[in-house]
């Protein structure tokens, strides 16, 4: 592993909600003097190679913990972020920044969600190279699949994502053509959605150590956890979960998914490729995400909280749906009701 760059981190924790305005000037001055003394003699914190666990995606660092008129030197856990290069047929395909761990699943999931492979048989082999810090994964396609996707492989894959000015309408149309409608039968309850959210949160081992990673999880229709991925990037977390299910031959059992992020177009696109019928997110949804979910027949739930969540498309999959399955909003107010709040049955 490459040596980490020098890092200096300052973390603040305030006991008073109005701190620092309510802190006396003498205490502020005392805290400042404490921290700044011999500042010119301090050396930046350097992370040794042994301070990072490549498999767990966590490394430790030193920081200064600020409290009222008190500063302490502590150690903390950081989520590791490193590049992973994915090769197909021995040639570079893409590079992504990720948290080390589940790298083979990440590569397989990315190849699946990008349409390079459609089924497990399309992947003749996939392995991680351990000679260069484990930051390379090599995939080999079957001869039949290679003939079908060779033009795509020559183009490579853009590293850019949401913030790169993609064309909305054309993007949705293209994704819809590549993704068959999600016509899986079955319904879920708000209670099941909440149970899946809780399962995902309890399984977030990397987040419990660092507090700054995303997770994506896939479930069967009865709430059984099929796969979970954690990463500093929400797209990578989704690819890891999908890739793990893909490699295990379990994608056909997936009915519900959950992610600790906003519902962006890319996240919904990946879930649609995996034919996830109901997808929940902790944050809000973008317009393209809602458009794509509606076009593909995915039930999109966002702002999922312990007592409430908002459904943006296909609400009929929820037991006791607030709208008839064939309801068509007509007024502007009705169109906004696609973002309707569905209460958890436990809440009453």
Could you read off the pLDDT of 29-57 as tens digits, one per residue?
A: 555 555 555 545 444 444 433 344 456 67
Band of pLDDT at residue 25, cut at 50, 70 and 90: low
For residue 46, how many C-alpha atoms fall within 13 Å in the half-sphere facing its CB?
6
Report CA 248 to chain centroid distance, whole Å. Answer: 20
Instruction: Provide the angle, in degrees to the nearest 10, between the axes of the packed helices 265-273 and 168-178.
Output: 10
Measured between alpha carbons, how far is 191 from 348 in angstroms, rounded to an integer? 11
Between CA 205 and CA 163, with CA 106 as vertex, the angle to 5 degrees is: 95
Closest CA to 272 of 248, 299, 249: 299
Band of pLDDT at residue 200, cut at 50, 70 and 90: very high
Ordered domains of the chain (ranges, CATH): 10-79 (no CATH), 82-159 (3.10.20.10), 190-347 (3.40.140.10)
Measured between alpha carbons, how far is 137 from 126 in angstroms, rounded to an integer? 7
Q: What is the mean pLDDT of residues 115-140?
A: 90
Strand residue runs (E) in 201-267: 214-219, 225-231, 256-259
Q: What is the mean pLDDT of the chain?
A: 77
For residue 71, pLDDT beyond 90:
no
Phi and psi torsions of 95, nearest 5°: -125, 135
Q: What is the mean pLDDT of residues 206-213?
A: 90
The confidence score (pLDDT) of residue 345 equals: 32
Phi and psi torsions of 202, nearest 5°: -70, -25
pLDDT digits (tens, 9 = 90+) for 233-276: 999 999 999 999 999 999 999 999 999 999 999 999 999 999 99
Closest CA to 168 of 281, 311, 264, 272: 264
Handedness of CA 181, 185, 188, 194 (dihedral sign): negative
- Confirm whether 164 is a catalytic residue: yes
For residue 288, pLDDT beyond 50:
yes
For residues 340 and 30, which has the higher predicted lDDT (pLDDT)?
30
Given the residues 52, 61, 129, 164, the one annotated as active site: 164
Closest CA to 247 of 106, 93, 86, 130: 106
CB atoms inside a 10 Å sphere around CB 106: 30
For the entire predicted model, the pTM comes to: 0.73
User: Among residues of the chain, what percentage have pLDDT more than 70?
Assistant: 66
The confidence score (pLDDT) of residue 127 equals: 94
Alpha helices in 132-229 (DSSP H): 143-155, 168-178, 190-202, 205-210
CA–CA distances in Å: residue 229 to residues 213, 225, 282: 10, 12, 16
| Two tokens, residue 162 | 């949401």
């Amino acid at each position: 592993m490459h040596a980490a760059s020098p890092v200096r981190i300052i973390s603040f924790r305030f006991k008073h909600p109005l701190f620092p305005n309510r802190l006396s000037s003498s205490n502020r001055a005392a805290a400042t003097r404490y921290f700044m003394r011999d500042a010119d003699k301090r050396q930046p914190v350097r992370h040794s190679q042994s301070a990072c666990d490549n498999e767990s995606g966590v490394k430790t660092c030193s920081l200064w913990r600020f409290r009222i008129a008190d500063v302490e030197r502590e150690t903390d856990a950081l989520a590791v972020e490193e590049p992973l290069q994915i090769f197909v047929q021995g040639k570079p395909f893409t590079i992504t920044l990720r948290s080390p761990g589940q790298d083979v699943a990440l590569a397989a999931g990315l190849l699946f969600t990008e349409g390079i492979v459609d089924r497990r048989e399309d992947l003749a082999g996939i392995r991680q190279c351990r000679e260069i810090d484990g930051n390379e994964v090599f995939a080999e396609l079957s001869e039949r699949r290679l003939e079908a996707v060779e033009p795509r492989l020559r183009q490579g894959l853009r590293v850019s994502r949401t913030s790169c000015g993609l064309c909305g309408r054309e993007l949705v149309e293209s994704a819809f053509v590549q993704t068959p409608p999600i016509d899986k039968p079955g319904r879920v309850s708000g209670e099941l959605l909440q149970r899946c959210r809780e399962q995902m949160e309890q399984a977030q081992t990397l987040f419990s150590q660092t507090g700054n990673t995303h997770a994506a999880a896939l479930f069967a229709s009865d709430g059984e956890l099929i796969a979970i991925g954690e990463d500093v990037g929400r797209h990578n977390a989704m690819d890891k979960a999908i890739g793990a299910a893909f490699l295990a031959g379990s994608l056909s059992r997936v009915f519900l998914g959950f992610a600790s992020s906003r519902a962006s177009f890319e996240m919904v696109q990946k879930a649609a490729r995996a034919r996830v019928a109901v997808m929940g997110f902790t944050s809000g949804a973008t317009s393209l995400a809602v458009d794509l979910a509606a076009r593909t027949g995915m039930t999109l739930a966002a702002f999922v909280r312990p007592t409430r969540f908002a459904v943006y498309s296909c609400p009929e999959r929820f037991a006791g749906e607030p709208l008839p399955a064939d309801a068509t909003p007509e007024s502007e107010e009705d169109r906004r009701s696609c973002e309707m709040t569905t209460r958890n049955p436990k809440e009453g």
